Structure 1
């Protein structure tokens, strides 16, 4: 063996034969036995997936997304194949890139003295040392990166595509390249290969067992676990800020939290969260809770907890969510406190609904909302990001047809769409860790909340997609609600508009442009990080930063370039903004006041319903 190593070292001085040892199977019999067990578990997973489909309980419109993908990518291929010169150009570009990989690999393999520069981008999927020091895996890594770059360039350089088709093509190409990464397969991932050899395949046995369990948990759909869900219970170690449910309608519960200060701001605070997720993202635990922090600053906090809809809510539309949600909560606040002016907060689509409510109230001479804070909220959807890929007339019609059958959209469908926006971070790492490494995920409160998805009522979801993503009616002054045409220019109250710099759901530029739709003063603030972490950022953590630059005028890039950066959380800046509007205080209030009896303790019953 030593002689063979010596001979290999002489024939390939740039290669250390010891690198091969962790990849040599030591116990073929044990590996064969575990491979059989893994296949058996894989068979159980397949049976669990097939059973509800054979019974007709699940009907997968598999052809629709695949047809959309093929139709879109065919337009890209048509451009490159239509002209032999363009075809040759594309092939030449690919061959030259692959030849450069081959040349670098051979140079590195044959010499230890000559340093070989790696011009390819760094990618955290290839952090293991053997992705570069082992010639086989190094070649795979480089080849994958140049192929991915080439494939994405085909979309970028294809001419004659309309903007929506190009956007879809780029998105689908990223999904394909993310799925085909060598990091996602046992035989092409050095770490997976070593672990499989070291455990004689025991990792695959456990991984396939977890796969079967996750499909069973999803009742025939893959519900990929991203965290240890056994460590969290809503109402016990999550969403535990003390409070009461003081009112309940068909679409929401209204929660009021107990004061922790002797005096409170005269204006109560109403929070309108998104209905596509549950409200306790703002009350994960006492250390991260925006709700608790607001209570501790002297706010009388009220929160809308949306119902997890079923077939009974099929016809609940945006007007229903305004009248039986926002307006219902305002009525409850007035009864509980006697106040007719409130500060409001809307998060994501909850903010979009709140903005539409403000425009409707302006026409109805309803002045109960005196200020509004919008977290990562779009009112103009021109630059709405990759979610627009899923919305065009054909796709929307198919979605509406499916929702008509049940009365709602299953929460897992929306969760999958959000995960696809960052597939390389939110899908494939968990696929590898769970099903190929056989590792149990770590407990993480944010990912537990992310997995606690909600359904969307058919009428509500259809109105949202058509009026916002498809036709962008709110920003254009064309949205029809309650027999009125809504105009955001009618909204004259002060707006605090928070965007997050790395947001993939409500891009910061989109929020910036939407800020210019309102008719009153707007304070645009840009926070570091993304859609969740940029919002849920308690001051004592001293994380990230935020930028301020006054009103959102001009273009987004110029605003950012001259903005002032401040380290830490934006929460205290927002509190100063609120108090500058009205700092009057009154004695602390009890939940429900003298007019409303508590229905139950917070967080209520609606938030506990799981899909």
Structure 2
């Protein structure tokens, strides 16, 4: 029954939303001071709007113009009556933000949920979303005789047809996995029911002694780190003389429904390390994990430290959280009621549908990923240019029911890893046991893994920790190749057992560097090399023979 309800509500729990609404409305009813504050704010906004709507004498002194909201930055929005409608919308947005925040007695989670839902409702009513109230659309319609609306309808029908047939968005056909994305030469040298392990072909005469293992997130395909030739992190690292291996996760279906987090450790990270140790014997491994892959790698490293295994030369984390007390906006969709509904739905299908996570991310950034796109493509009739990063983002994957439920409950909901309660093969692990040097990258505008949350790793382990904060978001901050304009980062190293700095102090003390952080990471790995460069290892080995060319089979699964 719960699974049926999930289908009707797109997996949003009405009970969770209702509880949040009751918590907020109930406390607002008994907060006369807050209601008076909102009443006064409303009157002030109405007065200001009325004054701005009245015509002014041409010789009257003009107040300095404030920087317009980016949603209404076009000069056409400054003309009457559109200046009034846009300001009324911004006033409404401000009023609801004030109404749903800082209300005494409301739990933080309920406050965030109510504020989020209010923002979604207000965003939907923006005058920019409708042709008769958007001056840019009206102007384009007059200039083209309505051709923009005709083309917009064709775009809408094309998107509708693609969605009904399960096809990717328009323009993704220009990016073919194995041809112009995920095309760095290499071989699949190992395969089990969960992963393929890719070993990339060397391009230098000598390589660093220690190989690099990349553990991507299983929520998306691995090739976010191997996009086009000019912005592939994997290709770059190979060109810098590193022997690079990368896990390619299987796109799970019903047969993988019972795989759990321990399976992702054993069949994923640990199996990959076994293969690498056979192909590059007697060498430790520099392991790097991206997003959820970084969290999994952290757990694996803590388990190895607990069990006395010394297999890693270093650990690198890209936008990966180990403490989930402030996990970002995804926490809006995670509470007991929400997870119960999600688990019921996954038990019925065996996995989490790929589109569900994509839809959640769209809601978290609704203006950029939903409304602005609809206005551009359906009202202005202008198809946005598809880029490799967008094509990758449309290539979503499923997640096994049991593993995903464990991940959400143990990490997001209960924060077991930070609390020393996370079990690996029945025994808890703690990050305090980790002693390998760490290179940790966070991004300024990450709404999935906020940098202040990623920064909490500082108080979870005494290991040497080099923390990098780079310009960009969760994906664009990582895909930050050398030569890209307007890139910069801050970096500061904490020695083993060094004194803890708050994130505010770190932000003040960490020096700023211009350009990409990629060369810094490559050099950081080389500085922790055990010796001079060596002849590249063979592709595969006797026990791990080459199975096929990269990118393999699993990345192509739909």
TM-score (norm 2): 0.93
Distance 1:337 1:63 in 2: 46
1:117 aligns with 2:63: yes
**1:332-382 superposed Cα distances (whole Å, 9 cap, x missing partner):** 112222244111000011000000011111122222222110011100011
Equivalent in 513, 528, 537 of residue 581 of structure 1: 528
Once the 2 structures are TM-superposed, how far is the Cα of residue 104 of structure 1 from its aligned partner?
1.6
1:178-577 equivalences under 5 Å are 178-219=123-164, 225=169, 228-551=171-494, 553-577=500-524
Query: Larger relative CO (CA 8 A, sep 6+): 1 or 2?
Result: 2
**1:155-194 superposed Cα distances (whole Å, 9 cap, x missing partner):** 1232210111112222222222222221111111111122
- The verdict on how the C-alpha distance between 1:317 and 1:536 changes in structure 2, with shifts beyond 3 A counting, is same
Distance 1:574 1:186 in 2: 48
Distance 1:373 1:62 in 2: 36
- The verdict on how the C-alpha distance between 1:69 and 1:439 changes in structure 2, with shifts beyond 3 A counting, is farther
- The verdict on how the C-alpha distance between 1:515 and 1:540 changes in structure 2, with shifts beyond 3 A counting, is same
Distance 1:430 1:148 in 2: 20
Distance 1:81 1:208 in 2: 45
Identify the residue that residue 176 of structure 1 maps to in structure 2. Answer: 121
Find the structure with the greater CA-based Rg.
1
Equivalent in 146, 152, 155 of residue 97 of structure 2: 152
Conservation of the 8 A alpha-carbon contact between 1:391 and 1:469: yes
Once the 2 structures are TM-superposed, how far is the Cα of residue 434 of structure 1 from its aligned partner?
2.0
Identify the residue that residue 548 of structure 2 maps to in structure 1. Answer: 600
Equivalent in 89, 95, 104 of residue 43 of structure 2: 95
Distance 1:339 1:306 in 2: 26
- The verdict on how the C-alpha distance between 1:544 and 1:317 changes in structure 2, with shifts beyond 3 A counting, is same
- The verdict on how the C-alpha distance between 1:353 and 1:313 changes in structure 2, with shifts beyond 3 A counting, is same
SS at match of 1:587: coil
Conservation of the 8 A alpha-carbon contact between 2:34 and 2:103: no
Conservation of the 8 A alpha-carbon contact between 1:246 and 1:597: yes
Once the 2 structures are TM-superposed, how far is the Cα of residue 126 of structure 1 from its aligned partner?
0.6
Once the 2 structures are TM-superposed, how far is the Cα of residue 208 of structure 1 from its aligned partner?
3.2
Conservation of the 8 A alpha-carbon contact between 1:259 and 1:590: no
- The verdict on how the C-alpha distance between 1:220 and 1:471 changes in structure 2, with shifts beyond 3 A counting, is farther
Identify the residue that residue 108 of structure 2 maps to in structure 1. Answer: 163
Uncovered stretches (5+) of structure 1, i.e. residues with no partner: 1-55
Once the 2 structures are TM-superposed, how far is the Cα of residue 224 of structure 1 from its aligned partner?
8.7
- The verdict on how the C-alpha distance between 1:86 and 1:573 changes in structure 2, with shifts beyond 3 A counting, is closer
Conservation of the 8 A alpha-carbon contact between 2:15 and 2:337: no
- The verdict on how the C-alpha distance between 1:393 and 1:119 changes in structure 2, with shifts beyond 3 A counting, is farther
**1:115-138 superposed Cα distances (whole Å, 9 cap, x missing partner):** 443776631111221111x21100
Bigger mean CA offset, 199-208 vs 287-296: 199-208
Conservation of the 8 A alpha-carbon contact between 1:386 and 1:504: yes
**1:12-69 superposed Cα distances (whole Å, 9 cap, x missing partner):** xxxxxxxxxxxxxxxxxxxxxxxxxxxxxxxxxxxxxxxxxxxx9x943358455544
TM-score (norm 1): 0.86
SS at match of 2:115: helix
Uncovered stretches (5+) of structure 2, i.e. residues with no partner: none
- The verdict on how the C-alpha distance between 1:508 and 1:83 changes in structure 2, with shifts beyond 3 A counting, is closer
Distance 1:346 1:241 in 2: 19
Once the 2 structures are TM-superposed, how far is the Cα of residue 245 of structure 1 from its aligned partner?
0.6
Once the 2 structures are TM-superposed, how far is the Cα of residue 483 of structure 1 from its aligned partner?
1.2
Once the 2 structures are TM-superposed, how far is the Cα of residue 266 of structure 1 from its aligned partner?
1.0
Alignment coverage as a number of residue pairs: 549
Distance 2:336 2:342 in 1: 10
Identify the residue that residue 76 of structure 2 maps to in structure 1. Answer: 130
Distance 2:527 2:291 in 1: 25
Bigger mean CA offset, 187-196 vs 209-218: 209-218
Distance 2:137 2:182 in 1: 38
Once the 2 structures are TM-superposed, how far is the Cα of residue 451 of structure 1 from its aligned partner?
1.0
Distance 1:312 1:121 in 2: 55
SS at match of 2:101: helix
Distance 2:198 2:245 in 1: 5
Conservation of the 8 A alpha-carbon contact between 1:268 and 1:339: no
Conservation of the 8 A alpha-carbon contact between 2:38 and 2:98: no
